[in-house]
Amino acid sequence: MPQAEPTAAILPIDHLLLRGDPARAALDGRSGSYNFAELEETLGRLAGWLAGFGLEPGARVASWIAKGPVAALMPLAAPRAGLVHVPVNPLLKHAQVAHILADSGAALLIGTTARLATLAPGEVPEGCQLHREDDAACAMSGGTALGPSTAGPDDLAAILYTSGSTGRPKGVMLSHANLWLGAVAVADYLGLTRQDRTACVLPFSFDYGQNQLFSTWVSGGCVYPLDYLTPRDVMKLVDRRDITTLAGVPPLWVQITELDWPPEVAAKLKRLTNSGGALTRPLVAKLRALFPQADLYPMYGLTEAFRSTYLPPTLVDTHPDSMGSAIPFAEILVVRPDGSITDDDEPGELVHCGPLVAQGYWRDAARTAERFKPAPPASRYGGMAVWSGDTVRRDAEGLLYFVGRDDAMIKSAGNRISPTEIEEAAVAVPGVAEAVALGVKDERLGQAVKLLLRSADPDVAPAVAAHLKAELPNFMQPREILVLAAFPRNPNGKTDRVALAREYCI
């Protein structure tokens, strides 16, 4: 039986700060501290500044900035101004940013001066305005504040770009209802309260990173954005700000557990949440030993439906390999190819149904049709569902276990990496005929990138490495580059990626 869900009247996402106690702290960091009343006023000013550019309702506004008040408020300010926010991962470089700007049809981009300077004139869409982050920050300190919006639940609020196994990143369309219910759901099962203080170390361009803000604010708590350089910076923040909640991905937890945490500092953390890759049994054991007073929440999600499952802390020790079960507002089914429900312990495809399902991919009907399909007949929600492509099994207790990923996505350090994007960059180097990027197991990263090149020049690898370093972000850089004289072919004459993976990924 599905668990009882929290009560959630769906409001426009920009109403989020109105839920907090006006006098309580809402955001703190290097740029200053704001209580809920001050942050709501600041939000209104940023929204008023955006509205002053006279953009059409629904126009896309992108942000390519570091963590701080502007980055934290843009997801609320753009929708309040009747616009759609497109956050860009600060780690991306000009080629990926140019694609996102062009694909989204961005009418405005806010970026740091240094980042804006990397964009060539041809990489900025015609008519797209460029504004410095400093200008946005200045606007938040004065000017006319725009009041709360009257947006409807299904109105588009954000487009979050996520990589696919083929092609360039695609934009997932999220409504006000998607964002609002995601905040309420996570706050509910994590048990967040207004006494909680969340360290926001994940990028706000990720749905998981953005939800750090939303779930804390909907609970009346305070967020502390941090662009950390080393894991020790995270430990210092926990100590200095009495952090209670920390969200991370497996590679960060590996680094966290390598630090010498004073017991009194470790005890401040009450809640650890993980997504972006499964926790291994040894890592779970290390986290439980290092943070005995903290509840550990393993979670599984996909941007197309935000979050799907979580494992309650009480089951972590007895079921450390489980993905858990559905979060509030999510219906998770395990189905056969014909859409019928699998038996206990029978592998099947994970299908996510319900109001957390996104509205599809921006201006991409073909890929939307591949992933967003009618819900299986057994669904109590019906409508459109996300067919994940991930194979899982459900045990007799209703807990889910990951079996395998059907696509070729490489998941490294919590990042979803498109092999095609790496391959396209590699074949741009003279002398490279073909390229295949594969994911290989890595203890710290989850997966690392191994790049195979077909080339008559056995010494081409250094040139490729230099080109990739200039064109791709750090998390996409191959750990190893191999040059081969030939690639195996399948009966259709295509490169046999399965054969390459079998030979080179062991």
Count: domains in the chain:
3
Question: Are 163 and 17 contained in the same domain?
Answer: yes
Query: Is residue 310 situated within a structural domain?
Result: yes
Is the domain of 339 the same as that of 436? no
Residues in the chain, pLDDT under 70: 1-4, 163-167, 405-408, 490-494, 506
pLDDT attached to residue 4: 67
* Domain shared by 333 and 266, yes or no: yes
Q: Are 359 and 383 in contact (CB under 8 A)?
A: no
420 and 385 within one domain: no
Q: Which residues pair with residue 75 across a beta bridge? A: none
Residues 355 and 466 in one domain: no
Claim to verify: residue 59 and residue 163 sit in the same structural domain: yes
Q: Using the 3D structure, point to which of 384, 407, 430 is the last residue of a domain.
A: 407
Residues 487 and 394 in one domain: no
- The C-alpha atoms of residue 478 and residue 137 are separated, in whole angstroms, by 37
The pTM of the full predicted model, rounded to 2 decimals, is: 0.87
Cα-Cα-Cα-Cα torsion 423, 428, 433, 434, nearest 10 degrees, comes to: 0
Tokens 């502390």: give the residue: 224
Q: Which of 341, 372, 407 is the last residue of a domain?
A: 407
Q: Are strands 331-335 and 348-353 parallel, antiparallel or unpaired?
A: antiparallel
Secondary structure, 3-state, 46-104: HHHHHHCCCCCCCCEEEEECCCCHHHHHHHHHHHHCCCEEEECCCCCCHHHHHHHHHHH
Q: Count the residues in the chain.
A: 506
CA dihedral 254→260→262→267, nearest 10 degrees, is 10
| DSSP count for the chain of H helices, then E strands | 15, 25
Residue 62 lies in domain: 10-174
pLDDT score for 3:
56
Q: At 18, is the secondary structure helix, strand, or coil?
A: helix
Same domain (yes/no): 235, 276: yes
For residue 136, which phi and psi values (nearest 5 degrees)?
Answer: -65, -40
Tokens coding 276: 């972006």
Residue 212 resides in a domain: no
Buried b (16+ CB within 10 A) or exposed e, 110-124: bbeeebbeebeeeeb
User: Is the domain of 389 the same as that of 415?
Assistant: no
Distances (CA, A) of 122 to 29, 94, 119, 232, 439: 36, 11, 8, 40, 33
- The reply to whether 32 and 116 lie within a common domain is yes
Domain assignment present for residue 244? The answer is: yes
Residue pointed to by tokens 């953009």: 55
Q: Are residues 385 and 246 in the same domain?
A: yes
251 near 414, Cβ under 8 Å?
Answer: yes
Phi and psi dihedrals of 440, rounded to 5? -120, 150
Does 333 map to a domain? yes
**pLDDT at residue 493, as a whole number:** 59
Q: What angle do CA 261, 264, 270 make, to 5 degrees?
A: 90
Query: Residue holding tokens 């923040």?
Result: 237
* Burial class for 318, CB neighbours closer than 10 Å (0-12, 13-18, 19+): exposed
Tell me if 204 is assigned to some domain. no
- Asked whether residue 205 is domain-assigned, the answer is no
Mark which of 174, 195, 213 sits at the end of a domain.
174
Q: What is the CATH number of the domain that holds 491?
A: 3.30.300.30
Domain-located, residue 298: yes
Residue type, 30: R
Q: Does the residue 299 lie in any domain? A: yes
What is the model's pLDDT at position 417?
85
Residue 415 and residue 388 share a domain: no
> Which residue(s) pair with 62 in the sheet?
86, 109
